[in-house]
Amino acid sequence: MNPLLRSWKTVRRLRRSEQLGADRTPPVTLRMLADRLGLHVSTVSRVLHAKPDESHRAASSATVERIRRLADELGYRPNPHATSLRTRRSNLVGVLVPRLSDIVLATIYEGIEESAGEHGLSTFVTNTRDVPGIQRARTEMVLARRVDGMIFGDAYVDAEFLGEVAARGVPFVLVSRRAGDYPSVTCDDYLGGRMLGEHLLGLGHRDVAVVAGEPYASTGIDRTGGFVDAYADAGVEIPRHRIVHSRFDARGGHEATEALLAGGERPSAIFAVNDFAAIGAFGAVRDQGLRVGADIAVAGFNDTPLAAELPVPLTTVRSPMHEMGRRGIDLLARLLQGEHVESERLRPELMIRASTHPTAS
């Protein structure tokens, strides 16, 4: 570039930044580095960008050194908007969850964020409250932000909406819930349900009920399925009216349990497909004047940190929530590299406590 022109441009830029007001330090750009070093901006870019194969071809090692030193002396941070604009890659991923105030999803998100950081990705996370209209709207919103890919923690098992997203060529993975044949990272919910079923069978419970969660979520479906199958294998058929759907929160578990306890003869054990619903079940049991553990067994799923602290500690199935989040990003990262990925199903662990087993811890 014509050196005269260059210095004129520099003058203009300085004047401009003065007008902006004093306190907000203007971010340092490649051009500033290049100007101060008497180099071309492309040289600086190459040196600061590609480590092994490019940088030594781009400049002499002395120059490389000069550039590096100035860059971190001035605290150079590439402008991600410029980079994204140029490369058509934003290193952003959108994450949809039903609600972050559900500790399960929040913990999964912690795993997502942790792993995303390691992959150089940033995440937009938003709540959809499991409402399809909101899922659509929020998906549009994050796609408008030009994310590279998405993670859905709120998949409907019918996968209708996901089909549309896939048709648009957006890379995504599912966490927590599975749907269709899309790549997902889930807990082995079916196995977890089975384990709990076998546990209750072993304790002699024959008349049991299930607070089954929302009918559109694979988590509730699979946990219930495993539980029911465990009983079927033992020759016990759980009647239809012993299985009631519910919201996934405490209130929902409370209501569902109320319904279950309303009938004439009550079950001797209740399996709620997540811990919050189980806590709601505690409330309903209490309202009936019954005692959890002594009069009726209650079990949950997920082993959230509260489970062990409850006045009657809760028997539950530990699901690797944090790990699910981490693997979710790992899968997505590989997807973004163009690799083909397989779904993963993580192993649950049965935690036996006093809510089903009076002599347990």
Partner DNA sequence: GCAAATTGCCCAAACGTTTGGGCCAAACGT
Partner DNA sequence: ACGTTTGGCCCAAACGTTTGGGCAATTTGC
Q: Can you give the binding site for DNA, defined by CB under 7 A?
A: 1-2, 9, 12-13, 16, 26-27, 29-31, 38-43, 45-46, 48-49, 56-63, 76-79, 82-83, 85-88
Give, as ranges, the residues between 103 and 162 that touch a copy of itself (CB under 8 A): 103, 106-107, 109-110, 113, 117, 122-127, 141, 143-146
Q: What angle do CA 302, 308, 312 make, to 5 degrees?
A: 115
Tokens of 117: 């950081």
- Judged by beta carbon distances under 5 to 8 A according to partner kind, the member of DNA, a copy of itself, none in contact with residue 292 is a copy of itself
Rounded to whole angstroms, how far apart are CA atoms 161 and 166? 9
From candidates 57, 81, 240, 340, binder to a copy of itself by CB under 8 A: 81
User: Residue 351 corresponds to which amino acid?
Assistant: M
Shortest distance, position 63 Cβ to a copy of itself, whole Å: 25
Q: Residue-wise over 158-177: b if at least 16 C-beta within 10 A, else e?
A: ebebbeebeeeebbbbbbbb
Rounded to whole angstroms, how far apart are CA atoms 87 and 96? 25
Q: Are 277 and 253 in contact (CB under 8 A)?
A: yes
Q: Which residues contact 194 (CB under 8 A, 6 or more apart)?
A: 226, 227, 229, 230
Closer residue to DNA (CB): 73 or 207: 73
Tokens of 335: 């997807």
- Identify which range of 31-39, 211-219, 224-232, 307-315 contacts a copy of itself by CB under 8 A: 307-315
x/- contact string, 16-55, with a copy of itself (CB under 8 A)? -------xxx-x----------------------------
Sign of CA dihedral 349, 354, 358, 361: positive
From candidates 38, 169, 235, 239, binder to a copy of itself by CB under 8 A: 169
Residues found near a copy of itself in the complex (CB under 8 A)? 23-25, 27, 77-82, 84-85, 90, 99-103, 106-107, 109-110, 113, 117, 122-127, 141, 143-146, 168-169, 249-251, 254, 276, 279-280, 282-283, 286, 292, 305-306, 308-313
